[in-house]
Amino acid sequence: MTPALTAATARRVLAQLRHDPRTIALIVLLPCVLLGLIAWMFHGTPVLDQFGPILVALFPLIVMFLVTSVATLRERTSGTLERLMASPLGKGDFVGGYALAFGAVAVVQALVVTGFAVWVCGMDVHGSLGAVVLVAVLDAVLGCTLGLAASAVARTEFQAVQMMPLIVFPQLVVCGLLMPRDEMPTVLEWISRAFPLTYGVDAMQHLAAGSSLGDVAGDVAVIVAFLAGAVVVGGLTLRRRTP
């Protein structure tokens, strides 16, 4: 990787996003709209306080996965990646630049969504609000890196969209959102440990109950490890052209 080329790739991606208001609206506004609907539906109940921090991490992950996987695949199918790879730009520069660009967008998204949930919807966080923001940012960036990895095995944008239920939905089922993990069948509980979303949900559940950042440090470390692994996989499996 060359830092200058990685930074140039990140600037190019951010410039493209700046001229795409629909994608910006999808990234920033959609999670807020969904949270606002939930707050409206369950107004006067503790539902938002109980599940809001989890959704603050969950919605950005799903949105960033979808946007990143489709955008990266479009670079290949349009021939842009072919031309870039003929230059001194390496695979690491391309993947790193995309990760930096969408990571920066994920930070903005997490700040906006968390602020909207707390100050507009009235979500009460018993733990550290800063820790909630941190986990939300990491989950959003994780969605970016998983999207980068998924785009490497998809051949069309439709297939990239299909990767979302394949990768995300099984995690939703066993992450502890629908049922406490210690009440699941033993096999499913063990399977849940292999999914990164499990640790994001676990961290948010503890923070919602009043835990500090130090109490969820283990979950945060696992999320970071999965994030780094997804970047490596994305770089190793990156192809110039989709057959």
CA angle 36, 39, 45 (to 5 degrees): 180
This prediction's pTM? 0.86
pLDDT digits (tens, 9 = 90+) for 202-221: 998 888 888 888 999 999 99
Give the tens place of pLDDT for each residue, 5-23: 889 889 988 998 888 888 8
Residue 242 has pLDDT above 50, yes or no: no
Instruction: State the Cα–Cα distance between residues 45 and 57, nearest whole angstrom.
Output: 21
Q: What share of the chain is helix, strand, coil (3-state, %, to 5)?
A: 80, 0, 20
- Measured distance CA(111)–CA(130) in Å, rounded: 10
DSSP state of 114: H
Tokens of 243: 């057959």
Distances 230 to 86, 122, 200 between C-alpha atoms, Å: 24, 34, 16
